[in-house]
Amino acid sequence: MPKPHRTKENAHWTPAAAQLAKSKPYSVQALQSRRVADIVAASSELGFALFHTNLSDLACTVPTAQKQLAEWLRLPTPALTKRDLLQEQLTNALLQDRPAAGYVFLLEKLPSSHEHSEVREVLLDCFADAAEFWEEKAIPFRCFHSAGRSVATPSSRALALVSPFSIGAAAIG
């Protein structure tokens, strides 16, 4: 991928903005070592629309999760009643309602439990499809996500309580 050329416009960019500008422009990727504060600041500096939410309370069903995500991100709501509503909200409706130099989605604590596997897959696929749409429009679109903690099942919690390794742990810690 070619690096952005140094111009008068980007000569004053902060390191965070330069790093965001150099990252793959049409992608869905894990946060990894990126700092949320840097992404937020860089998005503003680059004139990108930022959509940021915590998904730790996301529903386990796809339709409900898509609706929740759209509400939490305050995405435009087109007058549609179809299965691909989130896809429409991330593409055409967003283009009409909130034109910007680029778009950054920051999805924190995407549930990683087995119960959320279908929801996680569908949501990330929606964002990947949206990235393809924005690439055709030559408008940068990035989605960063981090995994939430997997919720322990009651049986695994019970096992932890009776584990010989947990005996006396409270007194030690």
Q: Quick check: 6 pLDDT over 70?
A: no
Q: Alpha carbon of 168 to those of 97, 161, 164, 172: distances in Å? A: 58, 11, 9, 7
Could you read off the pLDDT of 27-42 as tens digits, one per residue?
999 988 788 999 999 9
Three-state DSSP class for 27? strand
- The residue among 166 and 69 whose pLDDT is bigger is 69
pLDDT of residue 137: 95
Handedness of CA 151, 84, 134, 69 (dihedral sign): negative
Given the candidates 3.30.465.10, 3.30.370.10, 3.40.1380.10, 3.40.50.1860, the CATH classification of the domain at 16-172 is 3.30.370.10
Task: Please report which confidence band the pLDDT of residue 163 belongs to, taking 50, 70 and 90 as the band edges.
Answer: very low
Residue 71 neighbours by CB distance under 10 Å: 11
Rounded distance, CA 118 to CA 127, Å?
14
* pTM metric for this prediction: 0.75
Residue 104 neighbours by CB distance under 10 Å: 23
94 phi, psi to nearest 5 deg: -65, -40
